């Protein structure tokens, strides 16, 4: 029993494991013979791959032979990137091995010389900034919530909202409308004919899914004009989108009914970093340089020199914007989920962030793989044997949604 990409399924193959959509609804039970209409339904519901009886193993069916020298190089560079994680932990061991193979296959093996920054450090900051204090005293003004986000949040929170009402809000923002239509017409959904109305898209994909996507995208679009010298927004959004998708896939594996909130939480988990980059560009640049030169975690540098880290800043912003509590909880605790009121959703984002950092998909500024919160991991009860499938499904979905990256 091994996964086969939906595009490569052949009618007549036998399903080795039931297929459910991202909200847990059963699409096809185990043991059924796959028919052409099943393949179409899988595509419509964004199922990237299914388990088929007798298929070749993924690790055998992708690139058959990895160059042993490249694998060695990938292992060595990964050892440097993993210096803050417990390499003896079984979950980390599995992520490490999968990441080595993934990086070899996708040209993401770090060259040793790139792992150390040669830029000189800025003068030592003698006085610790207190960002949160300044925030409370209103010395720092956080960005206003974009009108469309506010309105979307309202219609989404109302269980009586119809597809037409959600579409009306989306239609008020031409850029969001264009982007959403681009996404629903992408290979990710694989609809047979072109969808040119938002209301049609909402009906087909579902109100929760479309509004989660619209909410996350419109928030990240607010920051698209940050100068490249401060942060490359392309790689930042790549990291954010990957974390959103990985969080949703892990949540679906856990049969969670909060897959969309998890997607938005993953998408926004490092949002606070954008605020730090805007208000403290020099200090943030210095923190990044210092963390790499001294091989320290960036969020620890933030705490040491700014008096708080990006998760606290992100929480403040989401609180001000009155986004759902579960998102605020996931963002605030994504580096220490065992301390969260709602541990499981925060741990899902935490695990997604560790996977995405290990695989090297985009970056929010952090170079090293963040450490695993052991207590939270144990509480999650997620089988390590599912990691390979999660990575396969999530990276496939990520590829199909890459059009979002050109916000
Ligand atoms: Fe983070
Ligand atoms: Fe992150």
Ligand nearest to the CA of 238: 2
Count how many domains the chain has: 3
Do 50 and 157 belong together in one domain? no
Do 296 and 202 belong together in one domain? no
Do 132 and 154 belong together in one domain? no
Task: Answer with the one of 206, 222, 238 that is the final residue of a domain.
Answer: 222
Task: Answer with the one of 222, 249, 284 that is the final residue of a domain.
Answer: 222
State the Cα torsion 235-131-142-242 to the nearest 10°. Answer: 20
DSSP code for 301: H
Segment 209-267, tens digit of pLDDT: 777 778 888 888 888 778 887 788 889 999 999 999 999 999 999 999 888 889 999 99
Do 20 and 99 belong together in one domain? no
What is the rounded distance in angstroms from the CA atom of residue 250 to the CA atom of residue 348? Answer: 7
Task: Answer with the one of 13, 43, 61 that is the final residue of a domain.
Answer: 61
Do 397 and 375 belong together in one domain? yes
What CATH number is associated with residue 251?
1.10.3210.10
- Arithmetic mean of pLDDT over the chain: 84
Distance (Å) from CA 281 to ligand 1 centroid: 17
Do 258 and 323 belong together in one domain? yes
Ligand nearest to the CA of 310: 1
Residue range of the domain that includes 253: 68-141+228-407
Do 115 and 234 belong together in one domain? yes
Do 164 and 136 belong together in one domain? no
- How far CA 316 is from CA of 15, 272, 329, 378, in Å, comes to 46, 8, 11, 29
Ligand nearest to the CA of 303: 1
Distance (Å) from CA 228 to ligand 2 centroid: 19
Do 128 and 167 belong together in one domain? no
Ligand nearest to the CA of 266: 2
Distance (Å) from CA 350 to ligand 2 centroid: 8
Distance (Å) from CA 353 to ligand 2 centroid: 5
Do 263 and 114 belong together in one domain? yes
Along the chain (407 residues), what's the average pLDDT of each consecutive run of 10 residues? 77 85 77 85 78 60 68 92 94 96 89 57 58 70 78 79 86 84 78 86 78 80 80 90 94 90 93 89 85 89 88 90 91 97 97 97 94 97 94 87 67
Do 163 and 82 belong together in one domain? no
State the Cα torsion 249-255-258-259 to the nearest 10°. Answer: 20
Read out DSSP for 73-87? HHHHHHHHHTTTS-T
Distance (Å) from CA 208 to ligand 2 centroid: 24
- H or E stretch covering 52: strand 49-52
| All residues with CB under 5 Å from ion ligand 2 | 270, 353, 364
Do 176 and 257 belong together in one domain? no
What CATH number is associated with residue 24?
3.90.105.10
């Amino acid at each position: 029993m091994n996964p086969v990409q939906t595009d490569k399924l052949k009618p007549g193959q036998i399903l080795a494991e039931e297929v459910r959509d991202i909200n847990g609804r059963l699409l096809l039970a185990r043991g059924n013979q796959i028919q052409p209409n099943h393949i179409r339904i899988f595509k419509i519901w964004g199922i990237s791959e299914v388990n088929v009886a007798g298929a070749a193993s993924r690790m055998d069916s992708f690139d058959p032979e990895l160059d042993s020298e490249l694998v060695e190089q990938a292992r060595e560079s990964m050892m440097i990137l993993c210096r803050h994680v417990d390499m003896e932990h079984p979950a980390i061991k599995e992520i490490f091995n999968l990441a080595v193979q993934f990086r070899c296959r996708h040209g993401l093996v770090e060259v040793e010389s790139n792992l150390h920054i040669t830029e000189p450090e800025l003068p030592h900051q003698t006085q610790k900034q207190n960002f949160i204090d300044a925030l409370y005293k209103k010395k720092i003004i956080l960005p206003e919530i974009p009108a469309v986000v506010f309105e979307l949040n309202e219609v989404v929170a109302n269980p009586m909202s119809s597809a037409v009402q959600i579409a009306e809000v989306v239609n008020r923002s031409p850029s969001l409308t264009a982007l959403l239509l681009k996404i629903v017409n992408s290979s990710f959904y694989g609809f047979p004919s072109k969808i040119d109305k938002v209301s049609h898209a909402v009906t087909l994909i579902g109100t929760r899914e479309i509004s989660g996507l619209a909410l996350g995208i419109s928030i990240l679009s607010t920051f698209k004009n940050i100068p490249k010298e401060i942060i490359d927004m392309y790689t930042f959004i790549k990291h954010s989108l990957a974390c959103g998708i990985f969080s949703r896939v892990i949540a679906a594996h856990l049969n969670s009914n909060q897959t969309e909130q998890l997607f938005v939480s993953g998408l926004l988990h490092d949002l606070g970093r954008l605020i730090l980059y805007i208000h403290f560009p020099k200090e943030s640049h210095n923190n990044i340089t210092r963390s790499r030169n001294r091989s320290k975690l960036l969020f620890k540098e933030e705490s040491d020199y700014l008096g708080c880290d990006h998760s606290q800043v992100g929480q403040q912003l989401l609180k001000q914007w009155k986004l759902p509590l579960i998102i605020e909880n996931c963002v605030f605790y994504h580096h220490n989920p065992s301390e969260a009121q709602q541990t499981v959703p925060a741990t899902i984002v935490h695990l997604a962030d560790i996977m995405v950092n290990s695989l090297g998909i985009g970056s929010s500024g952090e170079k090293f793989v963040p450490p695993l919160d052991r207590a939270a991991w144990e509480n999650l009860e997620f089988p390590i044997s599912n990691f390979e499938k999660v990575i396969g499904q999530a990276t496939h979905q990520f590829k199909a949604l890459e059009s979002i990256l050109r916000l």
